[in-house]
Amino acid sequence: MQKNLPSVAYFSMEYGLDSSFKTYAGGLGILAGDYMKGAKDNNMPIVGIGLKWKQGYTDQHIDADGTPIDCYKNQSYDFLEDTGVKVTVRIRQRNVTCKVWKIDKFGNAPIYMLDTDLPENEDTWITGQLYGWFGEERIAQEMVLGIGGVRALRKLGINIDVYHFNEGHAVLAAVELIREKMDAGMDFQKALEETRKEVVFTTHTPIREGNESHTIDRLEYMGAFNGLTTEQMVYLGGAPFNMTVAALRTSRKSNAVAQLHAETANKMWEQVEYAGPIIGITNAIHKPTWVDQRMLDSVDTPETLWKTHMENKRALIDFVKERNGVQLDADVLLIGFSRRAAPYKRSNFIFTDEKVIGPLLEQKKLQIVFSGKAHPLDDTGKRIVSTLVKMSKQYPEAVVFLENYDMTIGRMLTRGSDIWLNNPRRPLEASGTSGMKAAMNGVLNFSVLDGWWPEACQHGINGWQIGDGFESSDTAKLDENDIKSLYKVLQEEIIPTYYTNNKRWVEMMQQSIKTTSEQFAVERMLKEYYEMLYMG
């Protein structure tokens, strides 16, 4: 890649850097963390902007009845560097001071984190809980991230060519950029036009309800207009003000996070006027964080590859024993599944027909390890988790639910499982990077053709597909189609291959690694960001 690359400021509400640093909730943050680590590895002129969360995301434990219980603890970190910089954001007609910390401990490019937990603030709670609230509290957080983030860059003296918003949370940074230009004498339309030249946007969730919006009067009350008029804010985001719509309208170009997701996103937002184009740049992973280098090194040596995989599988089994007290069997096919508990991800889908799946579990043909949190305010998601816990009690030697999902559990599962199961309702999975981690570790994907998997799947060669890409607005019809395929492939292809044809299984592991280890590594993603988004 050429020298003299444009400098980039990457705005993200969360960063998944390490289990010990409670600044992430899920896939959005894991992508951001891997992106910043890749930027460091490749010496790219990228800095991150985020929030220093006092409590971070929920710790979610399972009570005696199998119900997820959320708890938050104050976190203390001694490795954050005090930049000596403070900026002010006016929220609810009060000045809120934001202290700026720097983090680069985890092999990442510098991330500057804003913190309102200061004695001079009345509103110390703003940077308290990641995704802990909605309404006024969420707007306050987004004002600190967006408006405060731009002001922090100015005060730090960091010159930026491109402002990259990871999801719509950061869109108030565009409002700040517009305000700066208007204060310098531009009219609103010219300021917007110039801002669009320097802003790009990554959209994630393909579910319309998952794209955040706020009422105009609440934004005005909070101070989020930041000098703009009601008409100007409505012009950007509509009424109610949709954060994704505003990001599409203030960006010169946006990207979806897989090629199929680009198709979905373009259909989803086709009614948004004067929005920049949405292109597909498929997510990727930071291999040193997630992939056992021994698997990559032994990809051409079948015996060593299998031996190393079995070591990782036994490590996972020991981990499960330590965490849950359940002794799994290294000789039994082990399926891993970790997803946020949301209805469209269908976490308990494999249990649809217990007459099919029950005997496989009871006869020790199959064992399954689940993990994943529900959003703290999502009662439906929590019921899904409770269902998985119930199944673990019904099949105590074959089904496990690991509570309080984090990067440590993710790393163990994507290295030690035999199969990686993913069965969302197509086309509602944006990308799904955990499947990439599994694939590079020789764990064979067994997935609906959604997210990134259509770009990689070679059925029966490097993994298996569920269904044939069928889509339907009738969820019952879609579920029926997919469960038939899931059971058929599991019973007729996966289980027989695992137990009777180890040579072919290992060949598939080799192909899984070879077909994914470069295409879905963060270096490719960063290259495409620069060529297609930052400079394109």
Supply the DSSP string of 80-113, one letter for each residue.
-EEEEEEEEEEETTEEEEEEEEEE-TTS---EEE
Separation between Cα atoms, residue 503 and residue 511, nearest integer Å: 13
Handedness of CA 328, 331, 337, 338 (dihedral sign): positive
Non-local (6+) Cβ contacts of 350 within 8 A are: 335, 337, 357, 368, 421, 423, 486
Handedness of CA 310, 316, 322, 325 (dihedral sign): negative
- Confidence at residue 1, expressed as pLDDT on a 0 to 100 scale: 57
CB 398 within 8 A of CB 368: yes
Reading the block at residue 392, the tokens are 């673990």
**CA-to-CA distance for 363 and 9, rounded, in angstroms?**
54
**Alpha-carbon span 505 to 341, nearest angstrom:** 30
Q: Give the position of tokens 């990442």.
A: 108
CATH class of 287-520: alpha beta
Assign residue 460 a region: left if phi > 0, alpha if psi is -120 to 50, beta otherwise? left
Please tell me whether residue 370 adopts helix, strand or coil conformation: strand
Do the two domains 8-283+523-534 and 287-520 of this chain adopt the same fold? yes
Whether 195 contacts 40, CB under 8 Å: no
Reference 290, options 47, 37, 506; nearest CA is: 37
The residue written with tokens 């689940």 in the block is: 370
Which residues, 6+ apart, have CB-to-CB distance to 3 below 8 Å? none
* 204 DSSP assignment: -
| pLDDT values of the chain reduced to their tens digit, one per residue, 536 residues | 557 899 999 999 999 999 999 999 999 999 999 999 999 999 999 999 999 999 999 999 999 999 999 999 999 999 999 999 999 999 999 999 999 999 999 999 999 999 999 999 999 999 999 987 778 999 999 999 999 999 999 999 999 999 999 999 999 999 999 999 999 999 999 999 999 999 999 999 888 777 899 999 999 999 999 999 999 999 999 999 999 999 999 999 999 999 999 999 999 999 999 998 999 999 999 999 999 999 999 999 999 999 999 999 999 999 999 999 999 999 999 999 999 999 999 999 999 999 999 999 999 999 999 999 999 988 999 999 999 999 999 999 999 999 999 999 999 999 999 999 999 999 999 999 999 999 999 999 999 999 999 999 999 999 999 999 999 999 999 999 999 999 999 999 999 999 999 999 999 999 999 999 999 999 999 999 999 999 98
SS3 label, residue 48: strand
Please, is 384 exposed, middle or buried when counting C-beta atoms within 10 Å of its C-beta (0-12, 13-18, 19+)? buried
Q: How far apart are CA 123 and CA 230, in angstroms?
A: 25
Give the pLDDT of residue 2.
58
The structural domains of the chain, with segments of one domain joined by +, span 8-283+523-534, 287-520
- Distance between CA 407 and CA 290 in Å, rounded? 9
Q: Which residue has the tokens 């036994």?
A: 314
SS3 for 266-313 is: HHHCCCCCCCCCEEECCCCECHHHHCCHHHHHCCCCHHHHHHHHHHHH
Residue 167 dihedral angles phi and psi, to the nearest 5°? 80, 170
Question: What pTM does this model have?
Answer: 0.96
Please report the pLDDT score of residue 500 as a whole number.
98
Give residue for tokens 């994507």: 414
Q: Is the backbone of residue 108 left (phi > 0), alpha (psi -120 to 50) or beta?
A: beta
φ and ψ at residue 171, rounded to 5 degrees: -65, -20
Please tell me the distance from the alpha carbon of residue 300 to that of residue 513, in angstroms, as a whole number. Answer: 10
CATH of domain 8-283+523-534: 3.40.50.2000
Q: 342 by DSSP, 3-state: which?
A: coil
- Cα end-to-end distance, the chain, whole Å: 14
Tokens matching residue 165: 């918003």
Residue type, 427: P
Buried b (16+ CB within 10 A) or exposed e, 453-467: bbbbbeeeebbbbbb
335 bridge partner residues? 368, 419
Query: For residue 397, what are the CA distances in angstroms to 170, 404, 499?
Result: 45, 21, 19
Q: Please report the pLDDT score of residue 210 as a whole number.
A: 77
- DSSP, residue by residue, 374-413: PPTT-HHHHHHHHHHHHHHHHSTTTEEEESS--HHHHHHH
Query: In the chain, helix, strand, coil percent, each to 5?
Result: 45, 20, 40
Are β-strands 399-402 and 278-280 bridged in parallel, bridged antiparallel, or unpaired?
Answer: unpaired
What is the Cα–Cα distance from 149 to 338, expressed in whole angstroms? 32
